[in-house]
Chain A
Amino acid sequence: MLTTFFTLLVLGLLWGGVYLLMAEGLNLIYGVMKVVNLAHGDFIVLGGLLAFSLFSNYAMTPLVAFPLVALLLFVIGLIVQRGMLERITAAGPEGELRTLLATFGLSYVVSNASFLLWGSQFQSIPFLQGSIQIGPIAVPEGLAASSLIAFGVALLVHAWLTATIMGKSVHATAQSGLGAASAGLNIRKIRALAFALGSAMAGGAGALVITLIPFQTSTGGDLTVQAFTLIALGGLGNYLGAWLAAELLGLTEVFTQYYFGSNAASAVIYVVFIGVLVFRPQGLLGKVGRV
């Protein structure tokens, strides 16, 4: 009984790391652009499917593929921001609205492109199927490895944001674009960097997650909602909050799955989603996000 509980606890916390990486990229993009990238989930799926192809064609393990996939998505993100979203010149709510609509169109472009390349069947990478025995608790190797990498990357990005000049510029732009521009920062460059980095994190997360749960091209929309729920729960643009939310959601899902079955587990994210909208739109730690 107690062993089961602790096993679930460890599993939930590890899942939290994976969720964090999925959501952190979106948080970064939201922070700087003030817009949720509706294609974020499709980027995650694209990253996973790319890793799948690297694995099946070149026998590249997801650990090796991870940086490659992230780099690819970084480039895609750069192209999307530089070539398209940046051309929306309107400022304020109108600009945000148009960006949102553009990413809505983008999500269909990305998911349909993935569909044309990989078809509609579920894909997965069998990798690190064993488990590590820690005392009485058996931890799946794949989950442990993915989670550690995810935590590491999230931590690195966070450190970069808070400790380097470049990262601080991104942070400053997130807090006030106008202020950052007045201080002589190149907002265009910073936006492109943030969008590309956020996309790279999505791709990287996809490469890890596809070893844990199978992907289909149409999974993207669900992942976008998931990632949005996490950053909304944590308070949009709040990094500590997002981590807390990721852990909570990981635990909730693992426990729900064990006690109520997998159907309930896939519905639980939506219950949390509605709960956030109704009760805490400002997030766990955030300020009130009302009009």
Chain B
Amino acid sequence: MREGILEWGAFGLLVAVCLGVAAAGSGYLAQTLFTAALFVLLATGWNVISGFTGYVSFGQVSFFGLGAYVAALAMLHLDAPWYGAAVIATLAGIGLALPLGMIMLRLQGIFFALGMFGLARILQIIASSLEITGGPMGTTVAMAASVNRCAFIMVAVAATVVVATYALTRSRLGLRLMAVRDDSIAAEAAGVNAWSTKVIAFCISAGIGATGGALYVWNVGYLDPGSAFNGTIELQTILMVLAGGIGSVWGPVVGGILISILSTALWAHFPMEQQIVLGALTMLIAIVMPGGILSAVNRLGWLRRKPIWGAGVRALAAAEGYAGPAASPGPPPSILPVGAALSCRSLSKRFGGVAAVNGVSLTVKAGELLAIIGPNGAGKSTLFNLLSGFARPSLGEVHFAGREISGLAPHVLARQGLARTFQTSRLFPTLTVWETVLLASSSLHGSRAVATREAARILAEVDLIDQWADLPDTLPPGRQRLLEIARTLALRPRVLLLDESMAGMSAKEIERVQNALKAAMARGCGIVAIEHVLPAIAPIAARVQVLDFGATIAEGPPALVLRDPVVIEAYMGVEIEEAADDVA
């Protein structure tokens, strides 16, 4: 908390000094301050899409230019005051980002990056060829009466946006953004709609850019396509975030101030060489110091991001968890759904000529555990992808809770209680243990109080509470698996798909997982578990189903199936004497 006071104190002081200088300083000082604050604003906007969600954009200047033009037109033709024009411009930015994001954020990052690169050029062509924008010569509007007022407002707006961005990173949406950036597939599995999360971030980022454009045109009173869609603005914005620290709230502030000073100095003394220096600096930082200044500061233990909603996690867990698994809340047995919780019929998946899954049928009832075993390449993981919505079956259907679900998105299924783990753990490198579980519980529960209570209870149940503030890569492999299971439990699963979850666990950890699974089953959760560690799963498995070459080769109680000669042959191959007989 002391650190929090320190960083906010420093920020408050900075803003106060800037506001003072903007109000009372010379015209030159005020104008310099305006430019610096404008760039802090633009850099913060770029950071929302490229830093928080990891989708690098090379066309943030598009929204700056669009905002500037829309504001200019609103001032000219609607007689809008500067603030009215700024609001209209912001809405226009969001209005363009929404459809654009819906299309481009479905694509790989490289298409988005280049798409935005092209967008700035398209808008520039449009602005130069329309009559209403004044064509290539541009247009003039009523300039702000005093540069001091302008700078004061700019600093205030930039400071507000920085604070709002900070609030964003402390919110549910911020948590989702970081999860999507770290691993969008795992985020989907935790019930997050990765696509809409990215689109929202893009709209916010575009709105911020457009606001900056509107204030810019009010400041200079003149606009032409070359200055509205100026590539140097893009370069400076990106460089600022990189220099300060990408993906952190304070990065754009630190970088914005430093690079503004640098580029103002360059512009004054070496106007011709400005781009070459800024470009070279961008290269240098991308190559040798990707985390920027803040990563160096973080290493000293300062300005580290604190876990979201993490206050009092231990106290919550103590209040919720230690009554033991049997007392955990859940539907009483009398209202347990009867019959199949999850079933599939004749499910097939072909990749080219290969049938990875070939006509598999399975059923798991509420409260039972079905173990799936089979040699490598038997199609087990593909089967899970088909069941959980990550892949579409070529043939066959999947029923979950009495409904046909093929074609539903993974995050929809996850929220309905069809939760899964992955064969190789998929955790979020920058999210703490606490946040990983909170992500899943908060995608289910609208109330923050319920979501944190649930997350704390589950961490206590699987005994990860002591590591709540750790990052996943500091955990031993068994505990990483445990964390992944905890994430699924936070979705209050009706069916749990576990893909080799107990590989690499110690005996104690296996026992803990078995207890957590038994508790889930007691609540009526059906479990399908792919497992190679048979002793870990056999004691709690009702039935075993064996796959080989994409098809079921045996099925039944564990004790019988594991002695079935067909199964032994699938695992061990044909016995040597037999093989010798065949040759003879």
Contact = CB atoms under 8 A, between A and B. Distances in A.
Given A270-B121, A277-B104, A113 B276 contact: yes
Interface in A7-25: none
Counting chain A CB atoms within 10 Å of each CB, the highest count among B117, B242, B286, B290 belongs to B286
A229 B110 CA distance: 12
A245 interface: no
Given A108-B279, A270-B125, A38 B242 contact: no
Interface in B149-189: 184
A236 to B, nearest CB: 8
Interface stretch (A96-104, A121-129, A146-154, A207-215): A96-104
B288 interface: yes
Interface string B50-88: 000010101000000000000000000000000000000
Interface in A256-272: 263, 266-267, 270
A107 B242 contact: no
Contacts of A278: 103
A100 B56 CA distance: 9
A226 to B, nearest CB: 10
Nearest to A269: B118
Interface in A120-147: none
A105 B117 contact: no
Contacts of B350: none
Given A90-B290, A270-B121, A273-B118, A109 B283 contact: yes
Contacts of A224: 117
Nearest to B185: A291
A289 B273 contact: no
A156 interface: no
Nearest to B55: A97
Interface string B304-327: 000000000000000000000000
Contacts of A263: 129
Given A98-B290, A116-B272, A36 B110 contact: yes
A274 B129 CA distance: 19
A228 interface: yes
Contact of A277 (B111, B121, B184, B231): B111
Nearest to B114: A228
Contacts of A109: 275-276, 279-280, 283
A98 B286 CA distance: 5
Interface string B270-304: 00111110111111101110100000000000000
A84 B287 contact: yes
Interface string B246-283: 00000000000000000000000000111110111111
Contacts of A94: 290
Contact of B107 (A36, A85, A90, A277): A277
Contacts of B242: 101
Contacts, number: 121
A225 interface: yes
Nearest to A35: B110
Given A38-B117, A98-B287, A270-B125, A112 B273 contact: yes
B345 interface: no
B125 A266 contact: yes
B114 A102 contact: no
Interface residues of B, number: 42
A241 interface: no
B287 A106 contact: no
B272 A270 contact: no
Given A38-B58, A87-B288, A109-B279, A225 B103 contact: no
Contact of B282 (A96, A104, A221, A273): A104
A108 B276 contact: yes
A221 B111 contact: no
- Determine which residue in B108, B110, B235 has the highest number of CB atoms from chain A within 10 A of its CB, and name it: B110
B103 A101 contact: no
Nearest to A218: B231
Most chain B CB within a 10 A radius of its CB, from A38, A102, A277: A277
A225 B273 contact: no
A108 B118 CA distance: 16
B408 interface: no
A107 B279 contact: yes
B75 to A, nearest CB: 28
Contact of B184 (A90, A102, A291): A291
Interface string B105-146: 011111101110110011001000100000000000000000
A90 B290 CA distance: 10
A102 B286 contact: yes
Contacts of B451: none
B204 interface: no
Given A99-B286, A289-B111, A290-B106, 12 more contacts: A104-B238, A108-B282, A109-B276, A115-B275, A221-B231, A225-B114, A225-B121, A270-B122, A270-B125, A274-B118, A289-B107, A291-B184
16 contacts: A84-B283, A87-B287, A88-B287, A94-B290, A96-B110, A97-B54, A101-B238, A102-B283, A105-B284, A107-B279, A270-B125, A273-B118, A277-B103, A277-B111, A277-B115, A291-B106
Interface of B: 54, 56, 58, 103-104, 106-111, 113-115, 117-118, 121-122, 125, 129, 184, 231, 235, 238-239, 242, 272-276, 278-284, 286-288, 290
* Closest CB pairs A-B (n = 3): A105-B282, A108-B279, A105-B283
